[in-house]
Amino acid sequence: MASASNEDALKGNSLEVYRFLLRNGKPAGVREVQRALNLSTPSLASYHLSKLEDAGLIKKENGNYVIDRIILEDCIKVNRFLIPRFLGYAIFAFLLLISELTVLRPSVVTSFYFFATVGTFICALAFCYETVKVWYKGGF
């Protein structure tokens, strides 16, 4: 039940507020969130912050809000950037495919080599698809 409320809370502007706090890495107030995300009023920022607080994703400390729980499972936080996890897999699969087509290419193409190369290509495409899907879902 808690994960369903987290999914409901992480949509639209609330997701943007959550991602801002995650990227920011330090406590932020209502006005700072409003200015950073170009929200029309501080009460709108306060609404989204309280929505995230009710879902248990952020907490209030000394008048500012901080991330309490990180739930973007499909992302890796590198410094201030959120990167889809599947991007690394896609890059690895394409590098493997390139090495299969250049360095590991036999003089006579066998059926094993052909199916291994096609399998690597299909894996690379699947990882690219998952990366794009996460990218659009999260609005990266």
Average pLDDT, the chain: 84
Q: Are residues 32 and 83 in the same domain?
A: no
Q: Are residues 55 and 84 in the same domain?
A: no
Q: Provide mean pLDDT across the span 76-91.
A: 80
Q: Are residues 97 and 51 in the same domain?
A: no
Report the helix count and the strand count for the chain, using DSSP H and E: 6, 4
Q: Are residues 82 and 112 in the same domain?
A: yes
Q: Are residues 43 and 80 in the same domain?
A: no
pLDDT in tens, 116-135: 999 999 999 999 998 888 77
Q: Are residues 79 and 58 in the same domain?
A: no
Q: Which of 15, 46, 67 is the last residue of a domain?
A: 67
Side-chain-side CA neighbours of 40 within 13 Å: the count stands at 1
pLDDT in tens, 36-46: 989 888 899 99
Please say if the pLDDT value at position 138 is more than 90: no
**Tally of domains within the chain:** 2
Report residue 90's pLDDT band, with 50, 70 and 90 as the boundaries: very high
The domain of 7 spans 2-67
Does the CA dihedral 101-106-108-109 come out positive or negative? negative
- At 120 the pLDDT is 96
Specify the pTM.
0.57
- At 2 the pLDDT is 47
Q: Are residues 58 and 19 in the same domain?
A: yes
- At 12 the pLDDT is 81
Q: Are residues 19 and 43 in the same domain?
A: yes
83 φ, ψ (degrees, to nearest 5): -120, 130
Q: Which of 36, 67, 98 is the last residue of a domain?
A: 67
Q: Are residues 46 and 81 in the same domain?
A: no
Q: What is the CATH number of the domain that holds 15?
A: 1.10.10.10
Q: Provide mean pLDDT across the span 8-33.
A: 83
- At 4 the pLDDT is 47
Q: Which of 47, 67, 87 is the last residue of a domain?
A: 67
